[in-house]
Structure 1
Amino acid sequence: MTSQHPIKITIEGDAHSIRAAFTPPSPSLPASYFPHPTHSLPLDSRHLIANKRAKHHPITWGCVGVIAVSALILNVPTVGNWWDSLPGVKQWQKQVAKVMNVKQSNQSQSFSLEKESALAKWFRPVKAHDSLGNVFMVRERIYFPCLRKDKQDCTLHPVTGERHSAHRGIDAAGRIDHSGKPISVRRKPQYAPGLKGPVLVICFEEKGGAGFGAILTPQEPKGTRFRSFHLDEPCKDGTYPLNAVIGYTGSTGTSTAPHLHFEEQHYNSNTGKWENVNPTLAYAFQIVNGRLPWQ
């Protein structure tokens, strides 16, 4: 059976190295007759293809050179300026910038909301059984101002048992350990609370009630001060850095066991008096831990 396009095969080399050269008989030979990949082509065919590919290079580089020289002579704008000058590009860039700004704003707003949510968790009035860390826990005796006529906002006095008593702060004692007994908080440090120092400390003694106590006025928040009762021993008046130790938990005055009695007062500019409020959880945490909850 004869082929319409015979291929001339020439054997070259010795017994150890034999190369077959496929030589097309004419330019009309179909491309399917050439072996693949290219490295299996005969030497003369590889040169033919290489020359065919390479002949475009001078033209390509010539065009690049003409464009570069023209840009220098005619002072053509840079690629960036040329891109910006295209119709619709600036509008597209503004839309992209707007989308990115909205995205960044949403992320910033989301972070701000998360931060506010975390702060709101601590900047709220203290409730019974709130945790103040690993040692202290708020007991049932929380803030009872006892201002209503029906006495529903009053508490039972722990010593006298009277219902009409006001309790203008919170009591925090030790947590319950694994044996069911409260952890002793005697001689536990108490620190100067607030958002910014220094903290002015005025110490006092009240034998029938507070025992040894301290009035703590920080630089911030303004118009706010704190009172701590039943300290183990007298403290010392002075100006203390924020979170400095000002005394130790005790059971002096009218007290049945070592605990922290903590009050928060706000200054009323209309009456010129300090008024008790339900203490803020963050400051109650700070006075027994020496730091704010998020620090």
Structure 2
Amino acid sequence: MFRRRRGGAVPDPWEEDRQPGNSPLAIFGVLGVVFLIVLLAVVAEPGKLLAGGGEDSETTEVPEMRDGVPQPGFEPVALLEDNPLNSENASLEPADCRLPELAESETRMRPYYDAAVRCLNTLWRPVVVRADLSWAPPEVSLRSRTSDCSETEGTSRPTAFYCDGTIHMPRQWVLSDIGTREPAHLILLAHEYGHHVQQRAGVLRASTVRQEGVEVRSPEWFRISRRLELQADCYSGMFMAAAAEGGMLRERVAERFVSAAGSTQLSDTHGSPGNQRDWKLTGFRERTTAACDTWNVSAERVR
């Protein structure tokens, strides 16, 4: 689950300075200069100027990113359908990380999660960097309270959540919901880590901007949330495949957890149980970030 940080207005990158009108003579003079420049350019490099020119020749420029936020001059929502990760057939290397034994006490759970996140860092960092996006590792917290994040939607609490660069795995909530089954902890952690990948790619910021443009809790508002969560499910499936390939988990064990139906508790924001399962399986079987593109698929696949 992704929780949004409290506050923080979205700056308008398209604010323009307006100049007073000019006289007709001045306008004709400027047009004449522009025409002369274009003419000289055609003579010098006709192929460069005249080749292409249609919509198919345009490419999506990757913006300068700072802490997962595109810098001024770039429209944030362009990082949803046209995100660099959506076109990358990037996969995770086999994960052969050694993790300490998982136990209920905080002194044992903390080292386990720290080691697992280091493993995820090793796998995801090259993927994010290859897409020309900036990288920073996430923090991990075993606490449920945070002053920086909004409250859980509705009356249901999540098992875990991600907010502002920190993966929150509240010890009591996690133990209550999934016990100490290691594969369950890994797939849950991998889902929240998927939100961190989205944060580095600017997807979290972009989804916030898009949701601010529609009515709160409207069908489109919920659909945006489901696209976000189902993409994180797909990324968790990618990790489970890497863990099975590298020997961290047995193949049939990893596939059993990936194939489990999702939760009905937060289906409005996280997708139907069937779609949660399908997107995890997509990541597990296809194993590429391009296959996890939930932003360019039909509404039926993210209902």
TM interval, shorter chain, is: under 0.3
**Larger Cα Rg: Structure 1 or Structure 2?**
1
More helix by share: 2
Task: Considering Cα pairs closer than 8 Å and 6+ residues apart, tell me whether 1 or 2 has the greater RCO.
Answer: 2
